[in-house]
Amino acid sequence: MIGLDTNILIRYLTQDDPLQSAKATTLVETRLSEANPGFVSIIVMVEIVGVLDRLYGVSTKNIAMAVERILQANVFVVEDEQDVFAAMIALREGHGSFADALIGARAVRAGCAETLTFDRKASRLPGFALL
């Protein structure tokens, strides 16, 4: 297994830099496999969503599609895949931010009865409550 940094996946997804995008594409499409997958940490997933949103201005729908594409690829092992999937669904359906949905999903998995917040939008997510 090979760990992957955010910038590798951003270059692969956006194809915005001729040299780096080509290297990232070669890595993902020829070097990685089910037997030798790329590890994508939950931190990398949060960074990907943030970079696509803030730096590239990608729509929420297309960000959710990018996350889903990573989740479905058999050449990636995504840390806490179920939590990432739940956060992707929340993002796609407009229930809250990807990061907030991950916070809530991880809190539930840790046994928390609820996650308290001042964020009204986050409070619409399952398991959240306004303080």
How far apart are the C-alpha atoms of 131 and 38, rounded to whole Å?
A: 40
Q: pLDDT tens digits, residue range 75-126?
A: 999 999 999 999 999 899 888 889 999 999 899 889 999 999 999 888 888 8
CA atoms within 13 A on the CB side of 51: 17
In this predicted structure, the answer to whether residue 21 has a pLDDT above a threshold of 90 is: yes
- The number of residues making up the chain comes to 131
Q: Kindly list the distances between the CA atom of residue 10 and the CA atoms of 36, 86, 87, 96, in Å, as whole numbers in the listed order.
A: 20, 21, 19, 22
Q: pLDDT tens digits, residue range 28-51?
A: 999 999 999 999 999 999 999 999
Class of domain 2-130: alpha beta
For 58, which DSSP code? -
pTM of the model: 0.90
